[in-house]
Structure 1
Amino acid sequence: MADAVSICNLALSYLGDAANMVSIDEPEKSAQAELCSRLYPMTVSALLDMHDWSFATKRQAVPELTEEEGFGWRRVYQTPSDAIRIISVKDYNRQRLGSSEFRYVGDSFPDYDLPHADFEVKDKKLYTDVDNAVVEYISSNTDVSRFTPDFVDALAYLLAHKVVGARVKGKEGQTLAQMLLKQFYVSLSTAKTKDASQQKKRIHFVPSWIQAR
């Protein structure tokens, strides 16, 4: 099973590095550890943002910000604190149980796919016309143990591409950077294709006269 250190060592190995780090945090003081400690988190976030990864997708009801100006939208909601990117917004009917507690009809989300609503995200706020918004989003709090092997491979190549300038100088470094970037896109394509095959969208037809109710 991959972890942050093994992924960083894999990236370094693509540069011809010894790749023998045991930690990317203190107390290790190596130049490799310093680079990986700084670049690894942002590289993970960048790669997570490149696709609707099934293993990083979460679904959550979001709280309404009733005091916020909608600027043309009917509702304003707070986006989840761990959201890298909102994928979709849907409207689920809710029933109030108490002063602040809600449940969804059937105590769970429907097993069919509801129509996507229009939305806009600005400054961590979600603007939409949906009355009871539930969002699907890419989460930054995705444990490395959930990364697929193909995602790990793409991540290592992207990290190597970011690190190469500090480890390999001159024309050799430039040539290696181009090769790593090319290989990253190959790995990314493979990872996205395999990840997409893990998802099967259910089609739920809602007649227009019902949608208008």
Structure 2
Amino acid sequence: MSNTAVSICSNALLMLGAQTINSFTDSADLDRAKLCANLYPSNRDQLLRAHPWNCAVKRLILSPDATPPAFGYSQQFQLPADCLRVMEVGEGGCQIDYRIEGRKIQANTSVLELRYVYRNEVENTWDDQLVNLMTMLMAARLAYAVTQSTSMEQSRLQEFERALRVAKAIDGQEEPPQTLGDFPLLQARYGGGW
């Protein structure tokens, strides 16, 4: 089965004992469809931003803007429109000094390598854990509107938070361990000399 925003919302409604929707403009129950359409985008972005999910990470090389910043850094770079969270800024694999202001990155470099969490709107490319989490989050967000029960809303939110911790751990374990660089302090600590 193909995962879509509508299927995720429909499954969330099923978890609450409500009728499903066929689209965000479903005329059979326009209220539920509108509610899902309004809540889904911001909750999706919030969940994607909460963790660097492997299925929502992108790399780009940015060119500087024509207008440099007024002071502090020599160049500024426009963040991509789909950028939800900056993960790594570097040049040739080395971290560089930078500052984010608004939707711009300022740095003293002529080319900027950027690794970031992007707004992945193709749910079919998501990891199954992330699809499950989004379904649980939507169930929590829809719970009160659908059931009029605050205890159902709290129960669904707690269930989501527990699943989020597990999913973050599993997703994070797919990354190779990061090694500490060749720092003089570490060499001194472990028997190297200065």
Same fold (TM > 0.5): yes
For the residues of structure 2 that align with 1:147 and 1:163, how far apart are their CA atoms? 22
For the residues of structure 2 that align with 1:202 and 1:67, how far apart are their CA atoms? 36
Q: Tell me which of 155, 161, 167 is aligned to 1:185.
A: 161
For the residues of structure 2 that align with 1:143 and 1:201, how far apart are their CA atoms? 28
1:81-135 deviations in Å (ceiling 9; x for gaps): 111111110113xxxxxxxxxxxxxxxxxxxxx2322322222111123342110
- Residue of structure 1 in register with 2:191 after alignment: none
- Residue of structure 2 in register with 1:136 after alignment: 115
State the shift of 1:28 in Å. Answer: 5.4
State the shift of 1:70 in Å. Answer: 4.9
1:151-175 deviations in Å (ceiling 9; x for gaps): 1111112112211222222xxx111
Q: Tell me which of 129, 142, 146 is aligned to 1:150.
A: 129
Identify unmatched segments of 5+ residues in structure 2: 185-194
- Decide which moves more: 65-74 or 78-87: 65-74
SS at 1:61 equivalent? strand
CA contact (8 A) 1:91 1:131 kept: no
What are the residue-to-residue correspondences of 1:26-105 with 2, within 5 Å? Answer: 29-92=29-92
Query: Percent of aligned positions with the same letter in both sequences?
Result: 25
- Residue of structure 1 in register with 2:192 after alignment: none
State the shift of 1:66 in Å. Answer: 3.6
Does 1:21 find its partner at 2:21?
A: yes
CA contact (8 A) 2:91 2:112 kept: yes
For the residues of structure 2 that align with 1:29 and 1:174, how far apart are their CA atoms? 23
Structure (1 or 2) with the greater helix fraction: 2
- Decide which moves more: 119-128 or 48-57: 119-128
Q: CA RMSD in A?
A: 2.2
TM-score, normalised with respect to structure 2: 0.84
1:166-198 deviations in Å (ceiling 9; x for gaps): 2222xxx11111111111111111211111122
Does 1:4 find its partner at 2:5?
A: yes
Cα distance change of structure 1 residues 132 and 28 upon mapping to structure 2, 3 Å threshold? farther
Identify unmatched segments of 5+ residues in structure 1: 93-113, 209-213
The answer to which structure, 1 or 2, has the higher relative contact order (CA under 8 A, 6+ apart) is: 1
Cα distance change of structure 1 residues 77 and 28 upon mapping to structure 2, 3 Å threshold? farther
CA contact (8 A) 2:21 2:29 kept: no
SS at 1:154 equivalent? helix
CA contact (8 A) 2:64 2:110 kept: no
For the residues of structure 2 that align with 1:183 and 1:6, how far apart are their CA atoms? 20
For the residues of structure 2 that align with 1:42 and 1:36, how far apart are their CA atoms? 11
CA contact (8 A) 2:69 2:106 kept: no
SS at 1:58 equivalent? strand
TM-score, normalised with respect to structure 1: 0.77
For the residues of structure 1 that align with 2:154 and 2:67, how far apart are their CA atoms? 50
Q: Give the number of aligned pairs.
A: 183
